[in-house]
Structure 1
Amino acid sequence: MAANTAITSTDKIIQAQGGLVTDMDGEKVMMSITNGKYYSLGEVGSRIWELAASPVSMEDIVSALLQEYEVDPAACRTEVAMFLEQLRREGLIHVAPAERL
């Protein structure tokens, strides 16, 4: 999927290979071997990262977060979409249409 195409609710998200990830105080800290950058994902970002260990839709990520956190559904969808776009721009996730997996 092209990086300039918005991620849809049914697209499949999966972690990209080539990073080192560790837990620090309940949050994921990672280093991309590809670009040499460090990332701290925070609590919710860490949960999204865990969910993306195997192919998962944005819809399923949002559903999981709504069950685990008290958050407005529309706000959750917006924030998850923005976070996933950031991860994709940094090359940390792969996104594919559901029918291709």
Structure 2
Amino acid sequence: MINTQKVALNCHVVQSLGNIVSDMDGEKVMMSIKNGKYYNLGEIGGIIWDLIKEPVYVHQLIDCLMNEYSIERADCEKQVSLFLESLYAEGLIQIKE
């Protein structure tokens, strides 16, 4: 069953347990023990993954990325939300209102 949930800016997100993550040439790759799949999170996805080791509000995550990268806020919000929603759909993160 695939989980679906929209990610609001005031939600907390955090990594789910049971994933093995490694750095490969500047990108994060992950194996989910739970669902037996491999994932390439990429460079920015890997940074997001590191930032959600502990529960964090999505708006704080976006603020952090905005301080590091030159991107319009609306674009950052959209891309981060889509990325988090895809992680949630695979059971890789938890979302709490």
Q: How does 1:8-23 map to 2 (within 5 A)?
A: 8-23=8-23
Which residue of 1 is the match for residue 86 of structure 2? 86
How many Å apart are 1:23 and its aligned residue? 0.8
Q: Could you tell me whether the CA contact under 8 Å between 2:5 and 2:88 is conserved in 1?
A: no
> Structure 1: where are the runs of 5+ without partners?
none
Which residue of 1 is the match for residue 61 of structure 2? 61
> Structure 2: where are the runs of 5+ without partners?
none
| 1:38-82: CA deviation from partner (whole Å, max 9, x where unpaired) | 011111101110000000111011101100111111000000000
Q: Could you tell me whether the CA contact under 8 Å between 2:10 and 2:59 is conserved in 1?
A: yes
Large movers: runs of 4+ above 2 Å: none
- TM-score (normalizing by structure 1): 0.90
Letter matched to residue 60 of structure 1: Q
Q: Could you tell me whether the CA contact under 8 Å between 2:20 and 2:32 is conserved in 1?
A: yes
Could you tell me how far apart the structure 1 residues matched to 2:73 and 2:6 are? 19
How many Å apart are 1:86 and its aligned residue? 0.1
Corresponding pairs, count: 95
Identity between Structure 1 and Structure 2 (%): 44
The answer to whether structure 1 residue 41 and structure 2 residue 23 are counterparts is: no
Query: What is the root-mean-square deviation in Å for CA atoms of aligned residues?
Result: 1.0
Could you tell me how far apart the structure 1 residues matched to 2:89 and 2:82 are? 11
Could you tell me how far apart the structure 2 residues matched to 1:92 and 1:4 are? 12
